[in-house]
Structure 1
């Protein structure tokens, strides 16, 4: 007799290429998508479903205890009040001030760049942030202290606004900026600058599940899979997928830090 599966995980996704890709020719082939497929294959005693929802709704539903998980959540103190986090699954690195290529000289003239200065001394320069996002501790603290005049709910929306000169800059990871430039048919449209408050070490996304007994059980199972898989060449290939060629040496140099993180 076939054993009946009664346990279920609902995996939530939103369009955040190259981590989760919900449409187009690369659909379901982002970094987080591949990790989610690996986990669903290993957790065969669970029934799995996938739901596309806006990121703010993911957080709201986890707060209410929904039996959902999300591949790509950054651990932050406010989130630990309602969610439980796995070991790191990938890395966000490096973080940059991203501008339109024609504005390179304008921003070079402000260098060395500081996000604090952009948000305080150059308020005429327009930026935006994803609602409820955790980027990196120093950048998050500055955005909380000096919130920009607008927010967005989808990455594509923000990069279209940047490309169309409705924003002057974004604070974003270079792989995300490179993907959206190609997606918008304008590879090379954006340039990224280092800045004073960028993280010198990667930010680690994790699987984020509801902070309930169910969620803790699921994360314990996920951590066991990650412990067995993360050092493999195949998993390294997932982490490096979509990275810009110029970023690969830096990613490979910190991979051992990634493996040692919990």
Structure 2
């Protein structure tokens, strides 16, 4: 029986599925790191849930962002951590908020900095950059970079020199392309640079008009199975120790300057995260 037919039967019978296993889709694999960091955010989530939700088996399967979303959209019995939450995605998935993250920046080689169109504050003017045919962009297909950046990227010229890729990792291969000179810029979070070992030749530059924090969370399909799964996950995280675990997991990927700049926003978010979420069917 397929995931979708099982869902249809569950709705017809009015039953609530029993969650015994969750398959987690992940692309935040960092083989160059050690210990628990190898599996990135997803590994930390499953380690916590194994302790807080006994009786449920957690399995990590690596899939790129585009494939992961297709599986969730198709109603398969899978979940994904660290997924940007948008209104369009909420049509097909149940979410709980787990991270309020600093926005992605433009990643470039240091020797390319002087070629970027920037305002007086040093922020990149992305629309001008996307229209510049002398610089090549590399983005991850099927990924959301947050509402503001998604809108800017969708409005790029049809003849822009931006190429889309579907790597299985958390963007490390795209960053390698930049280092090797096969592309000139990408859009990525600081965490990706850290997971890639902080390449000394790459630097992150803020983007004009995209400075808001980005809400990310855990997503499961909008099915009976997905609702049961997301409620069980939220029960594990909707308590003070759950919020503390999530906060610790994020802070390790941020610079001291970023932590200080957003301190008040982080405090407010994790106070709310320490309580159960409202999840409507």
Structure 2 length-normalised TM: 0.77
Structure 2: runs of 5 or more not aligned: 1-17
Aligned residue in 1 for 2:179: 163
1:139-170 per-residue CA deviation (whole Å, 9 max, x = no partner) reads 10111121653111221221011111222211
1:23 aligned to 24, 31, 37, which one? 31
1:80-104 per-residue CA deviation (whole Å, 9 max, x = no partner) reads 2221111x21233142122111222
Structure 1: runs of 5 or more not aligned: 15-19
Aligned residue in 2 for 1:97: 106
Q: What's the secondary structure of 2:99's corresponding residue?
A: coil
- Could you tell me how far apart the structure 2 residues matched to 1:190 and 1:82 are? 36
The CA RMSD over aligned residues, in Å, is 2.5
2:222 aligned to 207, 211, 223, which one? 211
1:106 aligned to 103, 108, 115, which one? 115
- Could you tell me how far apart the structure 2 residues matched to 1:143 and 1:108 are? 16
- Could you tell me how far apart the structure 2 residues matched to 1:6 and 1:257 are? 31
- Could you tell me how far apart the structure 2 residues matched to 1:207 and 1:240 are? 18
CA gap 1:27/1:152 in 2 versus in 1, 3 angstroms: farther
Contact conserved, 1:136 with 1:199, CA < 8 A, in 2? no
Q: What's the secondary structure of 2:227's corresponding residue?
A: helix
CA gap 1:109/1:12 in 2 versus in 1, 3 angstroms: closer
Contact conserved, 2:110 with 2:203, CA < 8 A, in 1? yes
CA gap 1:205/1:232 in 2 versus in 1, 3 angstroms: closer
Contact conserved, 1:113 with 1:196, CA < 8 A, in 2? yes
1:180 corresponds to 2:196: yes
Runs of at least 4 residues off by over 6 Å: none
Number of aligned positions between the proteins? 246
Aligned residue in 2 for 1:236: 247
Give the superposition deviation at 1:130: 0.7
